[in-house]
Structure 1
Amino acid sequence: MKNILITLLCLVFSFAVCAKDRLDIYEDYDLGTEIMMVTTVKVDANMGDVYLAGLKNSWVKAVKIQKELGYIKDWKIYGSDLPMSGEFNMLLVVTFNNSADLEPSKKKYDAFMKKWSDADDKMSREISAKYPEVRTITGEYQLREIVMK
């Protein structure tokens, strides 16, 4: 009796798995509206603090201005606890409210440039020119949340 019950349960579960072998958008899942731009970076051994110091005076300064102006929702830097374990060991992430925020805008550009001084631009260029000595960009991704129903 026990073997028959187990066989029947296996049969029922196998039909459930076979019944829907693919999901349909908007029926089985939705797409979120937020967009995340993710840059994967391989920072050379023992250069994480050097790279972060450069980011603080360039990329971080720029994304802070963008967030203050409302152009981005948020930004984050993630570092691996296991820095030598793969193709990248640091992530630079910028979150936008929606894809419309990615569109070019002269008005937004002009507002940003009012806050981003010539000195900031010069420093950012000098810092980023040295980045190839300490890191390699391994990928760039535009991601959107998948919300399962």
Structure 2
Amino acid sequence: MKKLLLLPLLFTMFAAAEIYEDFTPSQEPMELTVVAVQPNYVETYLTNLNRTWVRAMNVQKKLGYVEDFNVWTSLSVADSPNVWITVQYKDLASMQATEEKSKAVEAELEKMYGDNEVELEEISKGYEEIRKMIAHHIIYRVDFKK
């Protein structure tokens, strides 16, 4: 019996990982937003997200402000949350909003899609009726040594 009690202690002694020795956190932050969309409105939410947020993210990617972005959904409609949104940045400094970046994105959006600010404002207002923001995190990938 005493030997069985010692086994977990042995495993924890050998399992202790050292940062930068056994694993390294990535220097590229990822913004993760977790959303619960009402089950009957997921398709509507994604369609509207494509007309607003995705357009803006495509412009930011084109301008080099973000590395990549994704929208994820679950197959089960009953689960909450059911939408995850990620934005990958080169580094923490890239996440910093500036007036210059904002104006450049606005100008590019207008050039690509025209001035439909009233329509986009209506879409954005509608989000609050069908979704609930669950969490927002800045996360880092962990790279394990082989």
Residue in 2 that maps onto 1:61: 55
CA gap 1:137/1:15 in 2 versus in 1, 3 angstroms: closer
Is 1:128 aligned with 2:124?
yes
- Give the superposition deviation at 1:15: 7.1
Gaps of 5+ in 2: none
Is 1:112 aligned with 2:108?
no
Task: Give the number of the structure whose alpha-carbon radius of gyration is greater.
Answer: 1
- Give the superposition deviation at 1:57: 1.1
Q: Which moved more, 1:68-77 or 1:124-133?
A: 124-133
Residue in 1 that maps onto 2:84: 91
- Give the superposition deviation at 1:21: 5.0
Q: Is the 8 A contact 1:58 1:120 kept in 2?
A: no
- Deviation readout 1:55-114 (Å, 9 max, x if unpaired): 1111011101001111111111111011212x3001111111221211233332222121
Q: Distance in 2 between matches of 1:60 and 1:14?
A: 48
CA gap 1:21/1:125 in 2 versus in 1, 3 angstroms: same
Counterpart amino acid of residue 121 in structure 2: R
For normalisation by structure 2, the TM-score amounts to 0.82
Is 1:77 aligned with 2:81?
no
- Deviation readout 1:20-57 (Å, 9 max, x if unpaired): 45322212211112211111111102111111121111
Identity of aligned residues (%): 25
CA gap 1:144/1:51 in 2 versus in 1, 3 angstroms: same
Is 1:145 aligned with 2:138?
no
Is 1:52 aligned with 2:27?
no
Q: Which moved more, 1:112-121 or 1:52-61?
A: 112-121
Q: CA RMSD in A?
A: 2.4
Matched residues, number: 140
CA gap 1:15/1:88 in 2 versus in 1, 3 angstroms: closer
